[in-house]
């Protein structure tokens, strides 16, 4: 597998946004919130940068709820561990005779699938980027499957930050040098485009990602 760099991701974004209008740049509040997202991400956790970004967000008129919503959004990066590992864990369990990925789902697992996935286009898109991870996660642990959806939904249910800003924050965190999570980057980029975000704001988010502080450890 080739190494994925932020330059690779930016080049991909350049291609995917080639036909977009420039659109409006990020305003001061959105810039501060996206910057906060990157600084507070588990791949950075830079206390000084977090403090500066929080102050700038408040200066730009962001509410406490908006700041907390962005932090909750970014804290969900931990679920990428589940996304990347689930199919591999299930496959190894199959080889050892510990699980049968072909067995019909029991009624409770079927119910959970319909409640949380069904025909949701977001998870359909994510499954295209990470084939099989949702079903594998459900087969391995219904509790983790349900908890995954419950936690990921929090920043979207509160809705104090515009969806377009949250998508840009997710793009920046997924593209940041310490993470470079291409599946999420592609999905959130597609969502931002569908929401009408212009090329200028997308590239600004990638500039913020490129400037992410290096994770030097956290006291």
18-37 tens-digit pLDDT: 999 999 999 999 999 999 99
Has residue 114 been placed in a domain? Answer: yes
We report the CATH number of the domain holding residue 55 as 1.20.1290.10
Please give the residue range of the domain that contains residue 88.
79-153
**Contact predicate 164/198, CB 8 Å:** no
- Which backbone phi and psi does 202 adopt, to 5 degrees? -65, -45
Asked whether residue 56 falls in the same domain as residue 103, the answer is no
- Going by C-alpha positions, the residue among 177, 163, 160, 173 that lies closest to residue 78 is 173
Q: What is the pTM of this model?
A: 0.93
Has residue 62 been placed in a domain? Answer: yes
Has residue 189 been placed in a domain? Answer: yes
pLDDT given for residue 1 in this prediction: 53
Asked whether residue 40 falls in the same domain as residue 71, the answer is yes
Has residue 218 been placed in a domain? Answer: no
Domains: count for the chain = 2
Asked whether residue 31 falls in the same domain as residue 55, the answer is yes
CA angle 47, 50, 51 (to 5 degrees): 85
pLDDT tens per residue, range 113-154: 999 999 998 888 888 999 999 999 999 999 999 999 999 999
pLDDT tens per residue, range 52-88: 999 999 999 999 999 999 999 999 988 999 999 999 9
User: Rounded distance, CA 12 to CA 186, Å?
Assistant: 9
Asked whether residue 173 falls in the same domain as residue 119, the answer is no
Q: Which of 108, 129, 153 delimits the end of a domain? A: 153
Has residue 103 been placed in a domain? Answer: yes
- Going by C-alpha positions, the residue among 48, 39, 47, 31 that lies closest to residue 71 is 39
pLDDT given for residue 35 in this prediction: 97
Q: What is the DSSP letter of 214?
A: P
- Going by C-alpha positions, the residue among 175, 171, 84 that lies closest to residue 136 is 84
pLDDT tens per residue, range 147-186: 999 999 999 998 899 999 999 999 999 999 999 999 999 9
């Amino acid at each position: 597998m080739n190494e994925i760099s932020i330059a690779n991701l930016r080049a991909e974004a350049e291609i995917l946004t080639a036909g977009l209008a420039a659109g409006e740049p990020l305003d001061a509040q959105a810039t501060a919130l996206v910057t906060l997202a990157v600084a507070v991400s588990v791949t950075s956790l830079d206390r000084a940068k977090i403090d500066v970004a929080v102050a700038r967000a408040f200066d730009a008129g962001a509410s406490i709820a908006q700041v907390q919503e962005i932090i909750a959004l970014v804290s969900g990066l931990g679920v990428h561990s589940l996304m990347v590992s689930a199919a591999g864990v299930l496959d190894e369990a199959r080889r050892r005779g510990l699980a049968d990925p072909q067995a019909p789902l029991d009624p409770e697992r079927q119910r959970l699938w319909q409640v949380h996935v069904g025909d949701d286009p977001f998870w359909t898109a994510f499954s295209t980027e990470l084939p099989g991870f949702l079903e594998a996660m459900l087969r391995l642990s219904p509790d983790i499957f349900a908890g995954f959806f419950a936690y990921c939904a929090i920043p979207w249910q509160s809705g104090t930050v515009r969806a377009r800003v949250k998508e840009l924050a997710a793009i920046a965190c997924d593209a940041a040098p310490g993470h470079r999570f291409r599946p999420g980057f592609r999905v959130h980029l597609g969502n931002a485009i569908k929401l009408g975000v212009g090329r200028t704001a997308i590239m600004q988010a990638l500039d913020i990602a490129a400037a992410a502080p290096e994770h030097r450890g956290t006291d």
